[in-house]
Amino acid sequence: MEPYIENAVKAMGIKVTGKELFPSYGELSVRDVREKITGVPSPSLAVPFQSPMRPPVMCPGCPHRGVFYVLRQLKLGVSGDIGCYTLGAGAPLEAIDTTICMGASISGALGMEKAHPELAEKMVAVIGDSTFCHSGVTGLMDVVYNGGNTTVIILDNSITAMTGHQENPSTGKTLMGQPAPKVDFVALCKALGVKRVTEVDAFDLDKVKEVVKTEVAAKEPSVIITRRPCALIIKNTEKPVEVQECTGCKVCLKLGCPALSFDEENKTVLVDTSLCTGCGVCTQVCKFNALRKAGESNE
């Protein structure tokens, strides 16, 4: 919010009103703009009731959800980055510990590991495909160059989701939708000197867990690429999951899937079938086999 245009216009000799009214930080709400320009205080927007809390969560069927569930289960420290997956910091997943700025997850993790070498086997860096292309590659190069042990998870959902589903150098299309060369993450990471590169299905929680455990224990840099497209860019053909004989343990609610809610009166989980994509992540966390893919028996 620096006076960029204001200064340029002033430099042309034109009188401008700007920064003496509006600050260089914070948010410009309609209220603030109206108040500053008219000088008339805006009416209070207070309402006589407490509105319900609605924290932002990942979409139903989001490929990032299960990965964060596993990282939380493994009690790993997580150096986070910027994208839809930053929501892994919020409740109920609460898996991300730090997020500094776009691309800082890997270099941040390397720095923490250099300051506290014992952390190397207790933490990972997570970064989206677009963010990795933007400014993660340099951090990974640094990890190899500086003899780090860092484990990096590239959350590849085949799109730049958070900012509105733009293409990026790893999606195989230009921003105009034209075919483009596609960055091969495995080849790129290996070219940077990372010998341990593993690809895993983001919806296969057992596999994600096994690979993460192996790679954080490794005494050299590793990259894990979790793959599944963003739920909003695929034509989904899966049926919603069904609930049968729920014990009411609420473990599945820790996933923060908006398609799952709890009926306190009947002590059972409910699935909103208009939201559920049938990704099957919740069926893997329910120990009582109460959540099942449509048509599957719970025997």
Ligand X SMILES: Cc1ncc(C[n+]2csc(CCOP(=O)(O)OP(=O)(O)O)c2C)c(N)n1
- The contact set with ligand X (CB under 6 A) reads 82-85, 102, 128-131, 157, 159-163
Smallest distance, ligand SF4 to C-beta of residue 296, A = 12
List the single partner that 61 binds among ligand X, ligand SF4, none, CB under 5 to 8 Å by kind: ligand SF4
As beta bridge partners, residue 125 has: 79, 152
Residue closer to ligand X by CB (options 150, 160) is 160
Q: Using CA atoms in the order 14, 19, 24, 27, what is the torsion angle rounded to 10 degrees?
A: -100
Smallest distance, ligand SF4 to C-beta of residue 261, A = 10
Residue closer to ligand X by CB (options 65, 209) is 65
Q: Using CA atoms in the order 238, 244, 250, 254, what is the torsion angle rounded to 10 degrees?
A: -10
Q: How many CB atoms lie within 10 A of CB 296?
A: 13
- Residue pair 208/199 in contact by the 8 Å Cβ criterion: no
Three-state secondary structure call for residue 129: helix
List the single partner that 277 binds among ligand X, ligand SF4, none, CB under 5 to 8 Å by kind: ligand SF4
Smallest distance, ligand X to C-beta of residue 139, A = 13
List the single partner that 269 binds among ligand SF4, ligand X, none, CB under 5 to 8 Å by kind: ligand SF4
Residue closer to ligand X by CB (options 218, 234) is 234
Smallest distance, ligand X to C-beta of residue 231, A = 11
Q: How many CB atoms lie within 10 A of CB 45?
A: 7
Three-state secondary structure call for residue 265: coil
Q: Which amino acid is at 26?
A: G
As beta bridge partners, residue 138 has: none
List the single partner that 160 binds among ligand SF4, ligand X, none, CB under 5 to 8 Å by kind: ligand X
Q: CA–CA separation, 60 vs 259, rounded Å? A: 6
Three-state secondary structure call for residue 169: coil
Residue closer to ligand SF4 by CB (options 63, 148) is 63
Q: CA–CA separation, 29 vs 223, rounded Å? A: 42
Smallest distance, ligand SF4 to C-beta of residue 268, A = 7
List the single partner that 124 binds among ligand SF4, ligand X, none, CB under 5 to 8 Å by kind: none
Residues that bind ligand SF4 (CB under 6 A): 58-62, 64, 84, 157, 161, 230-232, 240-241, 243, 246-252, 255, 257, 259-260, 269, 271, 276-282, 286, 288, 290-291
Smallest distance, ligand SF4 to C-beta of residue 298, A = 10
List the single partner that 286 binds among ligand SF4, ligand X, none, CB under 5 to 8 Å by kind: ligand SF4
Q: CA–CA separation, 234 vs 25, rounded Å? A: 38
Residue closer to ligand SF4 by CB (options 67, 281) is 281
Smallest distance, ligand X to C-beta of residue 88, A = 10
Q: CA–CA separation, 242 vs 271, rounded Å? A: 7
Q: CA–CA separation, 260 vs 263, rounded Å? A: 10
Q: CA–CA separation, 228 vs 64, rounded Å? A: 9
Residue closer to ligand SF4 by CB (options 150, 157) is 157
List the single partner that 141 binds among ligand X, ligand SF4, none, CB under 5 to 8 Å by kind: none
Token code pair at residue 107 = 């270099």
